[in-house]
Structure 1
Amino acid sequence: IGPDGHPKRGGFLPPISLPRRMFAAAEMQFHAPLMLDWEATRTSTVLDIAHKSGRSGELVLVKVGHSIVQADRERVSEVQTIVYRDTGAPTPAIAPATVDAAPDDVSWTPGSVDLFRFSAVTFNSHRIHYDLPYATGEEGYPGLVVHGPFTAAKLFGHARRGGRSPTRFAFRAVAPVFAGQPVLLREDEAGRCRAIRCDGSDAMVADIGY
């Protein structure tokens, strides 16, 4: 395990030297139901590695594909985008603002216990999600960082209201969310959901196919 809680680099993922790692985006397709008590095989592949220079400095984007197969049939496929970046300046605290809720919005305030439980159930030991001194002192965040997939899971649940069954779910993280601050889950239109931070900024945008 590396100092940030992730597995040391240079095994499956490439030995990228940039110190910060974040989950940037993913696209999932649900081809057939996963069946309980059936043997399943997941195959993971590094699909692409791209180096970019932006306003925040050097970035390396790694695309990883996952495929889950049961009974010789692909059930779920996913492409994840992981971004590696330089240390950079500390992330400023979010200043809450008045955000008017729409009638069907759902308010969600993830706390430190929620983050710890999500880390445990997903076997994610990245310390920015549960180790406050590390998150603030080493990585320069103003608080514990909410997992991108945690926010995505909440948006996916929002998209399933009324018994709907998505066949495709793609999300892109736009801005970080921190523990203890409310988030609005909103469906702007059929097939498009957003997670809105307490300052009114989009934290995540998701596109859903039915």
Structure 2
Amino acid sequence: MLALFLREIRLGVRAGSGALTGVLFFLAVVAVIPFGVGPDLNLLARIGPAILWIGALLASLLGLDRLFQADREDGSLDLLLMADSRHMLALTVFTKCVAHWTIGVLPLVLVAPMLGLFMNVPPLGLAAATLTLLAGTPAITFIGAVGAALTVVLPRGGLLVSVLILPLTIPVLIFGVAASRGAVADTDLFLPPFLILTALTLFFAVIGPVAAALALKGAAD
């Protein structure tokens, strides 16, 4: 698993453009919001955590269709399907998801505090939004692995992946935004939604790779 993780990291670093595209898209979403809602700084501060979450969610969807596509094109996916049992294949999918999150989504979390300054979000809100993104965005990747596995046989399944998994990410978005807003309003309101957000990530970390492994097996058959 470690060798696979390092391989995925190296391939992601060589590709490079995926993370940059996500960050630029994230920046574009956040930058245009003040032009749409006007110069009301209080309003921007209130909706800032939600905008950060929406931008990060949409940016996280961009590269999910490539999670298994490259392996299918070079034939390595067939080798994985032949060599691994169902449980080992789920671990393989889990490792690929972690590597994809590290390369493609973690940069979004790191730039979120800087982008939050555009929204006049207070420092406590920036810290809470960053922490919730760090805890919640892995769930989006694990959910996305299922959609990527279902559409791996399609040559251009990027939009279909987003359509399939977007409804499943709504609970993650709700509790991420609730925790971020709760930290600004009252620190006692931060912990309950944050714990639920963390539980969702752990739940999808188990269910997502297993479901994706079954979908890959079905696509191979």
From the two aligned structures, give the one with the greater helix fraction: 2
Same fold (TM over 0.5): no
TM-score of the superposition, structure 2-length normalised?
0.28
From the two aligned structures, give the one with the greater strand fraction: 1
